[in-house]
Amino acid sequence: MKTRILTLVAVFMFATVATSVAQNKQIDTKESKVNWTGYKVTGQHEGTIDFKSGTLKFNDGKLVGGTFVIDMSSINTTDLSGESKQNLDGHLKSDDFFGVAKYPTATLTFKKVVETDDNVYRVAADLKIKESTSRVAFDIELENSSAETTLKVDRTKFGIKYGSATFIDGLKDKAINDEFDLAVTLKY
């Protein structure tokens, strides 16, 4: 009798594992977008940055993970033109900010994913910019082979202190906010 029960339990466990379907879906890097907004005392600037690669991981149709590589050399200011645009793009790519020559990519790796509603997930992820890694959290919504999320990033957690009133006294109206916003649309 014990043998039959153990055999049935083993068959049931094997059947459960066998029907679990894991799937990795590559993002379309041309159709996926990251829009950024950086703030300063006197206003804000906006732009885009491109994905180098990205994968969403699913198990039985539910989001369980993800890994993304951002092409930092693609930093692009969209609210300026001409010399002002070139100057800001160059400054953001310089060692004052993202040091793109030395650190050409940033990575985001999902560490914990919890479904909070139908096709809505709360994600805790490790974001690596330059040599530093910091945990970020955000909600992501999936629908029709696309996903959307917004998140705030504190640049000072990655050693980017240029223009930060938190670290530099007397900046007054030249201060740049520590946090910037990212609005992300993924197509997969």
pLDDT (0 to 100) of residue 16: 46
- With a CB cutoff of 8 Å and minimum separation 6, the contacts of 122 are 113, 114, 116, 137, 138, 139
What count of other Cβ atoms lies within 10 Å of the Cβ of residue 49? 20
70-122 pLDDT per residue, tens: 999 999 999 999 999 999 999 999 999 999 999 999 999 999 999 999 999 99
Whether the predicted pLDDT of 48 surpasses 80 = yes
Mean pLDDT, the chain, rounded, equals 92
Could you tell me which of 174, 69, 76 has the C-alpha nearest to residue 129? 69
Domains observed in the chain: 21-187 (2.40.128.110)
Residue 29: its pLDDT value, please?
Answer: 98
Neighbours of 70 (CB within 10 A): 23
Residue 187 CB-density burial (10 A; 0-12 exposed, 13-18 middle, 19+ buried) = middle
pLDDT digits (tens, 9 = 90+) for 173-186: 999 999 999 999 99
pLDDT tier at 20, thresholds 50, 70, 90: confident
| Cα separation, 164 vs 23, whole angstroms | 42
Q: Which residues contact 160 (CB under 8 A, 6 or more apart)?
A: 96, 97, 98, 129, 130
Answer yes or no: are the C-beta atoms of 160 and 183 closer than 8 Å: no
